[in-house]
Chains A and B, each alone.
Chain A
Amino acid sequence: MSPTSAPSSRRTRNRALRSPLARFLVRRIVTALLLAVGITLVTFVLTNLVPGDPVSANLGQRALGDPAIVAQWRADHGLDRPLPQQYLMHLEGLLHGDLGTSQQSHRPVLDDLAESVPATLELAGAAILVSLILGVGFGVIAALRRDRLSDHVLRVLSLIGISVPTFWLALVAFYVFFFRLQVTPGSGRIDPGMTPPPQVTGLYTVDALLSGRWDVFSSAVGHLAAPALVLALYTIGLLTRFTRSAVLEVLGQDYVRAARAKGLPGRVVLFRYVLRPALVPVITVAGLAFGSLLSGTVLVEAVFAWPGVGQYAYKSATTLDLPAIMGVGLVVGVVYLVINLVVDVLYGVIDPRVRVS
């Protein structure tokens, strides 16, 4: 078909795709979709490496003694088919929202995860908020006060932040603040005996605010504080170090010197000339930091008995609950993928050099 006879919609589409931003977006989304398929493949292959036999994990002793029942169970779950076919069945199930049934809770994995994902998102969300405020703030202070005492102190503190074992810090925080000082409430998301707010978002703090239940809100914030701060310590350290070098890099630029020479007030130079370009790459690091927060939740939730994905992952890993492990890997992988996609797109929109390259 000649270009002149092409439908006008195709011409419009071609024109749209010629814009670097559109091409950048399409490329990123296609990559993310391919990676999502890759994630399903990785979790499938890994869970098929498990030396334990899912048949013996699911059937009772009497049923295991009967070869007909075992064969029937294997056939029902598609385990008698070749692996590639099992993978395609698995993919088909995923497209219908079927993540399998947990061998421990005997409930659909999707239902289990639907209950635990909001708890983890609330914890990780609070932690990233604290990390961004403190990490970026400390980083800017360290850069502006380079080589002074505060810079050295912040450098040591940020190094300690990235060196502390999260699971140990969680234990110490729980022991000191709950057991000894009794300034924080114990484990869980709200005080025992308190009824959770009516579910809208699944985040207790937000739902309590929406329903006007201030007692639940203050309890939820109290329970959230200690695990969120423990979780945030690593990312605060990471962001402080990164922001410091990003700000230092910009401070040495000629245009900043020119702005100063022009006699602009320090605050204007800082906010308009230094922070705007310096904080753009921080978005990427914040995305990476969110990944380490999701990792950290496994270790922190186990200590604070926080009923999130981390605790579910831990329980399913130790009991070799195949569908649950596969579900956690998949859901966390996809959540992380989406966050990275958003970060990439945001970065491309803000900084034109990225989409051109």
Chain B
Amino acid sequence: MKRAGLFARTRVSRLPQAWRRPLAIVGTVVALAWIVVALAAPVLAPHDPLAQELPRLAPPGPGHWLGTDQLGRDILSRIMYGARVSIPLTLLLVVLSVLIGGLLGACAGYFGRWVDETIMRLADLVFAFPTVILAMVVAAALGASLGNAVLAVLVVAWPAYARVTRGLVLGVREREFVLSGRLLGFSAWRSLRVDVLPNVTGPVLVLATLDIGTALLLLSGLSFLGLGAKPPSPEWGAMVAAGVDVFDSWWVATFPGLAILTVVLAFNFLGDTLRDALDPRTARAIKERAL
């Protein structure tokens, strides 16, 4: 009973210990705050994000705490509504990248031979381009819209998951419990689903959390270049781009950019924490320090 208790304590305490560090707390609080803002924007926002009812280019002050843009729209309200555009699209993008890249990578690692060759050479081809350049070319080819920008980022994002998942699957594929499953006559799909995938999800999840920030940066970057969201959508990248034309009104670009920065930073803090918590070496170091 005592041993079980000890065992239980080490298993349970590993995750919370990492999550009690300041970066983890800040990351969690900021990410949750943004999710609340996105959900409650209609209640929280003081103005309609599209209404052109305030004085144009008014600096931050009472009634419009973060100022107004060239069309007299309230920047604070637009940032709050912008969270409803940027955050869900980024999360969707990462989920789709994990699913597509993870599945392709798992197939490549598990089945090997021509499946592996085909998928990994495709991934190599995507890796042969710097990300923004390829995403920009794809977005331009598909036509400028937010949906196409998401597709463009998806095209450049899936190979990272394919590569990581393939590597992990290769490591697990030859383990005894997988081989014995196959010897018992289980199908390849069952073995992949039941024996292999649960063993690779941890590292892929860490990568996904770290990737949320990168995906948001890429998506807002495309919008900044005019290849994503179109006016009057309150998308953060497009809002920063609007600030380029009115340089002396610093608030127009500064606050939407800070919104992107805080979301990316929060998810990077979370990803960092998750990696520390799941990586046995760093987890041990954290525990030793805590004792």
Contact = CB atoms under 8 A, between A and B. Distances in A.
A333 interface: yes
A299 B225 contact: yes
A190 to B, nearest CB: 22
A179 to B, nearest CB: 6
Interface stretch (A96-104, A128-136, A167-175, A277-285): A167-175
Contacts of B241: 167
B130 A336 contact: yes
By size class, the interface of chain B is 35 or more
Contact of A298 (B132, B220, B289): B132
Contact of B253 (A35, A164, A168): A168
Query: Which applies to chain B's interface (DSSP): helix, strand, loop or mixed?
Result: helix
Interface stretch (A7-15, A257-265, A313-321): A313-321
Interface in B175-221: 213, 217, 220-221
B226 A172 contact: no
A163 B248 contact: no
B240 A291 contact: no
Contacts of A49: 141-142
A172 B225 contact: no
A298 B136 contact: yes
A43 B243 contact: no
Contacts of A35: 124-125, 128
B115 interface: no
Interface stretch (B49-57, B76-84, B89-97, B256-264): B256-264
Given A147-B289, A172-B257, A291 B265 contact: no
B152 to A, nearest CB: 10
Contacts of B254: 172
Contact of B137 (A168, A296, A302, A317): A317
Contacts of A153: none
Interface of B: 23, 121, 124-125, 128-134, 136-144, 213, 217, 220-221, 224-227, 237, 240-241, 243-244, 247-248, 250, 253-254, 256-257, 260-261, 264-265, 268-269, 272, 289
18 contacts: A35-B125, A38-B125, A39-B129, A42-B129, A159-B265, A159-B268, A160-B265, A165-B260, A167-B240, A168-B260, A171-B257, A298-B225, A313-B133, A314-B136, A314-B225, A317-B140, A317-B225, A332-B130
